[in-house]
Amino acid sequence: MQTGVTQNYSLSVSGGTEKTKAYFSLNFSDEQGQFTGDDYKVYSTNMRIDHEIKKWLSVGVNMQGSYVYRNKAYSRFINSLVSVPLGTVYNEDGSINVTPVPGDGNTINLLLNQDKSVYRDNNQNFKLFLNPYIEIRPFKGMTIQSRLNASLGYDKKNYFQGIGSYQYYASDGPNASGTSASVYAQIDQNRSYNYKWENIFTYNFNIKKDHEFTVTAVTSWNHNQTDKSWQKQDNIKNNSYLWHNMDGTGIVYSNYTMSKGLGLVGRINYSYLGKYLFSASVRQDGSSRLAKGNKWSTFPAVSLGWRISDEKFMQGTSNWMNNLKLRLGYGVTGAASIDPYSSVATVELDGYYSLGGQKTNSYKFSENVANADLTWERSHNWNIGLDASFFNNRIDLSADYYITNTDGVIWKQNLPVVNGAYNASKLYYMSKNIAKTQNHGLELTLNTRNIVNKEFTWTSALTFTLNNEKVKSLIGGTADHVKNEDYYLSIGYPVNSSMLQKLMVCGSWVKKQMQQHLAVLLVILKSMCQE
């Protein structure tokens, strides 16, 4: 082990003119871990440029990039706790002793993987975020903005455990020689490409000064794409090439996913005298992740606001209260946070078999079984809130109470084993609209500006949150819980309950079973007594 050391360096430059503003930064971080050979380096940059070409036309771009390189040392901490602390770690010539404990051929030296020629595990990660925009103001009150949020990602993991590594001797014995299945190299590569393109049309206008309107229309298009490949080869005969010289005899796997979404939004905001507020909107969303016929849904929303502090009967409080506003809102939102192909059947590589002396791929249906009825998860949200400001806005207080009722909660449910819905490693599952839930709570926020002057500023913030979530019912109405691996969806408990909730659910099930069996036993005993 070694002393961990972290270094951070940063350089930034900013400037501009009346019409142009620019910012640029470079950052570098170097972290050496506690284990020898464990290091983590991050290179990043950030650039932003905003420019006004004409009074009615502005453009800009924000770009962020990062490159991460990490060497991961073989973790020996747990193994060292259960290893015999006595023995000869090094041979007389300074080389590492494979079996450091005399007479114990099962204890392999944990330091073997410090040699980079026999063990490597490194990760490389590259990310680029690009956010250009253009804003047009064709006439008074009208603004058209088009912006793109794009990201590119590339991850590569290289892994090698060769002849002479800890895993080699642990698998094949301390006297092993030559290559074996425990000697292998592996490369994992993940590429991602995502973007969201939004066009926002906003028009502000007044009618007789007292009536203020803001009309907004939005189009939103998103695209998410991932491309994965994986290659592994064992029985490598030479450590020198690491993962750079794999041939066609290994295992090769690739995967591709893509999903798209489109959103259309219309919204109108109205204000009368600045104290009576109204807002209404409707959103139409479509997602390729959902089943055919269920890809589109409509989500309306409406809200009211009353600035009480502007009323005549509140004039006596203006010297100490700056703002008092009451809010009430209702809206429907949707979610489709599921795997891209949850509504269609897919296949994946299952292994190989020999056909005419040639290795041939075999395939199987994926564990994510298709659901042709999968649709949107819809949440009905009620909210009432109060905002207040005191003493020249030195104190801001906000209180919100909300209730959210969600229908068609999407959850991955394990399928019955008796139907053959499993493989050697895990159960099959299906994404279903399976439950109704309720989420309600209270949020309080207090912000204070204690001291504000040219030389010194002191602000404080206090937040209190009380939230309660529980499953109200399950589709079908016959069961009180469903399971997905180690998580439960249980009536009366939060979504994805585990640990304590799991024990409570199991306890409830055991209690019901005991009651049922006891009732049957009593019937049998009663019958015997009558006889």
- At residue 478 the predicted structure's pLDDT band, cuts being 50, 70 and 90, is low
Region at 232 (left for phi over 0; alpha for psi -120 to 50; beta for the rest): beta
Break the chain down into helix, strand, coil percent, rounded to 5: 10, 60, 30
Q: Which residue has the tokens 């399971």?
A: 483
| pLDDT tens digits, 256-283 | 999 999 999 999 999 999 999 999 999 9
pLDDT at 508: 53
Q: Which of 212-216, 414-418, 481-485 has the lowest mean pLDDT?
A: 481-485
What is the DSSP secondary-structure string of 296-335?
EEEEEEEEEEEEGGGSGGGGGGTTTEEEEEEEEEEEEEEE
Asked if residue 86 lies in contact with residue 102, where contact means CB atoms within 8 angstroms, the answer is no
Mean pLDDT, residues 404-408 taken together: 95
| Residue 500 structure tokens | 């304590």
| Residue 472 structure tokens | 């109200």
Please give the single-letter amino acid code of residue 60: G
Question: What pTM value is reported for the model?
Answer: 0.79
| pLDDT tens digits, 395-404 | 999 999 999 9
- Checking if the pLDDT of 482 tops 80, the result is no
> 523 or 152, which is more confident?
152
Q: Which of 48-62, 83-97, 146-160 has the lowest mean pLDDT?
A: 83-97
Mean pLDDT, residues 410-425 taken together: 72
Mean pLDDT, residues 373-391 taken together: 96
CA gap 370, 347 in Å, rounded: 11
| pLDDT tens digits, 62-111 | 999 999 999 988 776 666 766 777 788 888 888 888 888 887 878 888 88
Of the candidates 59, 58, 30, 28, the one whose C-alpha atom is nearest the C-alpha of residue 46 is 28
| Residue 497 structure tokens | 């309950």
Asked if residue 59 lies in contact with residue 51, where contact means CB atoms within 8 angstroms, the answer is yes
Around Cβ 386, how many Cβ atoms within 10 Å? 14
CA gap 325, 305 in Å, rounded: 7
- Checking if the pLDDT of 424 tops 90, the result is no
CA gap 307, 310 in Å, rounded: 6
| Residue 150 structure tokens | 């794009």
Phi, psi angle pair for 510, to nearest 5°: -60, -40
- At residue 499 the predicted structure's pLDDT band, cuts being 50, 70 and 90, is very low
Phi, psi angle pair for 140, to nearest 5°: -60, 130
